[in-house]
């Protein structure tokens, strides 16, 4: 009989979002009349911007003709898209990235799960708590941890508690770590890392020879002008950081799938015998073997986000979701809730009412208000006592949800 990778047996529970879906479906089965409002998983609800959809349509038409057909895409992405990314996402903020440092993919989730594969299995990993579960679970699957304790914390991982006391800003580890996952704007807390915060982390990584995996999937939601959108806005970050971005929450691509990871050529890691190797070439080799690239119509759609009409439409979409977040924050605060996040991120991190833990408040919201939230404990033990609400909803659903919460 074939043997299992038993690291999978260490995984504490089902992946958070399927578990929420399971509980929600069970409730709906027994309450078929309930008008459920989904504010749990951060899935967008509005249509793809028209210029982006039109570009994808035109690209599909090209594929229907021999003379304009496209087969396998270039491994890292078509020039028309990577050059637009380099110019509009980075150049516009004074950051120099070379087009061949950009690797297109089908999601920041996949990239942030896959990236650990190119590091030695004995590396010490630091994660924030609460954390986007993918960073943790992918390292558990790879065998970089021991078993989980009763609080769900895995042996061998270094947890960086992000609490109201520290403004949800991850503290530096006390000792040495090799890999650090940071996410700003943060999923789930909605907190952002300042230039000083990021500067401290870059300095730490440089002095410890560590690598930062920086998830910037929500950078378009930053409204404070002083907050960096890219870790490469910090001097010295190119030597120590990999960055991930996504079109999911900007162009409505959660179903379409397109994202990218930047691996600077300066970023070196060691081997057991003391040699230095550039991660850029290793990630390129990994992707070339395991991945066949993003489809041509999707890349055309992503590129259309950078035309004048496309970028205006994407901005309107992001502004729409952020105006939901602003409304939610002000009304929930007025209703007596303590609410974090929601200023530079589409997530609100809400303190549970006294006497309720996060799955308890999740159940109250589901059963009494018919609202799906995400229990903070699902993101780690420091998430206990919070629920996360997503601002990715239609405005009338947001207004209805707020009314129901006020009436609880
Ligand atoms: C979330 O709700 O945390 C996100 O939708 C997850 C994701 O982007 O994979």
Q: Which two tokens stand for residue 280?
A: 């850029």
Atom of ligand 1 nearest to the CA of 246: 8
Distance 2 CA to ligand 1 centre (A): 33
pLDDT band at 150 (very low <50, low <70, confident <90, very high): confident
Backbone angles phi and psi of 332, in degrees to 5: -70, -35
Residue 233: burial class (beta carbons within 10 Å; 0-12, 13-18, 19+): middle
Helix or strand or coil: residue 192? coil
- The three-class DSSP label of residue 266 is coil
What separation in Å is there between the alpha carbon of 323 and the centre of ligand 1? 20
CA of 217 to the centre of ligand 1 (A): 10
- Evaluate: CB of 268 within 6 angstroms of ligand 1: no
What average pLDDT score do residues 52-62 get?
Answer: 98
In this structure, the residue with its CA closest to atom 5 of ligand 1 is: 42
Which residue owns the Cα nearest ligand 1 atom 6?
42
Residues 6+ apart with CB under 8 A from 66: none
pLDDT digits (tens, 9 = 90+) for 76-122: 999 999 999 999 999 999 999 999 999 999 999 999 999 999 999 99
As beta bridge partners, residue 278 has 268
Which numbered atom of ligand 1 lies nearest the CA of 132? 3
Confirm if 251 and 316 have CB atoms less than 8 A apart: no
Testing ligand 1's pocket by substitution, the residue of 187, 347, 389 carrying the most ligand atoms inside 8 A of its CB is 187
Instruction: Establish whether residue 41 lines the binding site of ligand 1, counting it when its CB lies within 6 angstroms of any ligand atom.
Output: yes
Whether the upstream peptide bond of residue 188 has omega within 30° of 0, thus cis, is: yes
Nearest atom in ligand 1 to 217's CA: 8
Tokens 């986007």 sit on residue: 132
Q: Predicted confidence band at 18 (pLDDT cuts at 50, 70, 90)?
A: confident
Residue 254 CA to ligand 1 centre (angstroms): 9
Q: What's the gap in Å between 41 CA and the centre of ligand 1?
A: 6
Position 151 scores a pLDDT of: 86
pLDDT of residue 15: 67
- How does pLDDT run across 285-302, given as a tens digit for each residue? 999 999 999 999 999 999
Residue with tokens 């895409």: 73
Atom of ligand 1 nearest to the CA of 109: 9
With a cut of 90, say whether residue 66 has pLDDT above it: yes
Could you tell me the distance, in angstroms and rounded to a whole number, from the CA of residue 16 to the centre of ligand 1?
Answer: 10
255: pLDDT strictly greater than 70:
yes
Whole-number Å distance, alpha carbon 161 to ligand 1 midpoint, is 20
Best mutation site among 41, 128, 135, 221 for ligand 1 pocket (most ligand atoms within 8 Å of CB): 41
Number of the ligand 1 atom closest to the C-alpha atom of 188: 3
Q: Give me ligand 1 centre to Cα 212, in Å.
A: 20
Output 354-362 pairs: Cβ under 8 A, ≥24 positions apart.
Answer: 357/384, 357/385, 358/383, 358/384, 358/385, 358/386, 358/387, 361/387, 362/20, 362/23, 362/387
Residue 187 beta carbon below 6 angstroms from any ligand 1 atom: yes
Q: How far is CA 254 from CA 43, 140, 203, 229, 323, in A?
A: 7, 25, 34, 21, 20
Instruction: Measure CA 130 to chain center.
Output: 13
Mean pLDDT of the chain: 97
CA of 117 to the centre of ligand 1 (A): 21
Protein residue whose Cα sits closest to atom 4 of ligand 1 = 42
pTM score of the predicted model: 0.97
pLDDT value at 13 more than 80: no
pLDDT at 14 (0 to 100): 66
Position 240 pLDDT exceeds 90: yes
Predicted pLDDT of residue 17 = 84
**388 close to ligand 1 (CB < 6 Angstrom):** no
Nearest CA to ligand 1 atom 1: 42
Which protein residue has the closest C-alpha to ligand 1 atom 9?
A: 109
Residue 42 in contact with ligand 1 by CB distance below 6 A: yes
Q: Which residue has the higher pLDDT, 392 or 22?
A: 392
Tens digits of residue pLDDT in 333-346 = 999 999 999 999 99
Task: Report the chain's C-alpha Rg in angstroms.
Answer: 21
Q: CA 2, CA 252: separation in Å to the nearest integer?
A: 41
Q: Which of 19, 39, 42 for a ligand 1 pocket mutation test, highest count of atoms within 8 Å of Cβ?
A: 42
Q: Is 110 in the pocket of ligand 1 (CB under 6 A)?
A: no
Ligand 1 site, residue 109, Cβ cutoff 6 A: yes
Atom of ligand 1 nearest to the CA of 254: 8
């Amino acid at each position: 009989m074939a043997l299992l990778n038993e690291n999978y047996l260490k995984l504490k529970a089902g992946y958070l979002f399927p578990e929420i879906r399971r509980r929600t479906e069970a409730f709906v089965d027994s309450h078929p009349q309930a008008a459920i409002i989904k504010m749990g998983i951060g899935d967008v609800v509005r249509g793809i911007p028209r210029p982006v959809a039109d570009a994808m349509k035109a690209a599909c038409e090209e594929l229907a003709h021999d003379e304009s057909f496209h087969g396998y895409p270039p491994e890292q992405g078509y020039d028309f898209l990577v050059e637009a990314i380099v110019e509009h996402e980075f150049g516009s903020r004074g950051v120099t990235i070379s087009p061949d440092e950009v690797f297109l993919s089908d999601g920041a989730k996949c990239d942030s799960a896959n990236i650990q594969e190119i590091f030695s299995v004995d590396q010490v990993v630091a994660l924030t708590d609460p954390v986007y579960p993918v960073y943790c679970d992918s390292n558990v699957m790879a065998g970089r941890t021991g078993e989980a304790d009763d609080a769900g914390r895995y042996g061998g991982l270094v947890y960086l508690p992000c609490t109201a006391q520290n403004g949800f800003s991850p503290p530096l580890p006390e000792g040495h770590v090799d890999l650090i996952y940071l996410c700003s704007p943060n999923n789930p807390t909605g907190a952002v890392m300042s230039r000083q915060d990021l500067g401290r982390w870059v300095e730490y990584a440089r002095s410890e020879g560590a690598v930062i995996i920086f998830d910037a999937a929500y950078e378009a939601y930053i409204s404070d002008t002083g907050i960096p959108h890219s870790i490469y806005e910090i001097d010295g970050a190119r030597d120590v950081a990999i960055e991930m971005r996504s079109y999911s929450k900007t162009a409505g691509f959660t179903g379409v799938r397109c994202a990218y990871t930047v691996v600077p050529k300066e970023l070196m890691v060691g081997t057991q015998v003391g040699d230095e190797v550039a991660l850029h070439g290793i990630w390129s080799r990994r992707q070339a073997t395991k991945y066949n690239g993003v489809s041509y119509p999707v890349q055309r759609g992503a590129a259309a986000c950078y035309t004048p009409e496309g970028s205006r439409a994407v901005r309107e979409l992001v502004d729409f979701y952020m105006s939901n977040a602003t409304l939610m924050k002000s009304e929930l605060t007025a209703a007596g809730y303590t609410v974090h996040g929601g200023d530079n991120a589409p997530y609100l991190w809400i303190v549970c009412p006294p006497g309720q833990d996060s799955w308890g408040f999740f159940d109250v919201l589901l059963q009494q208000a018919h609202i799906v939230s995400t229990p903070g404990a699902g993101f780690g033990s420091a998430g206990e006592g919070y629920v996360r609400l997503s601002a990715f909803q239609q405005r009338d659903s947001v207004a209805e949800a707020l009314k129901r919460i006020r009436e609880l």
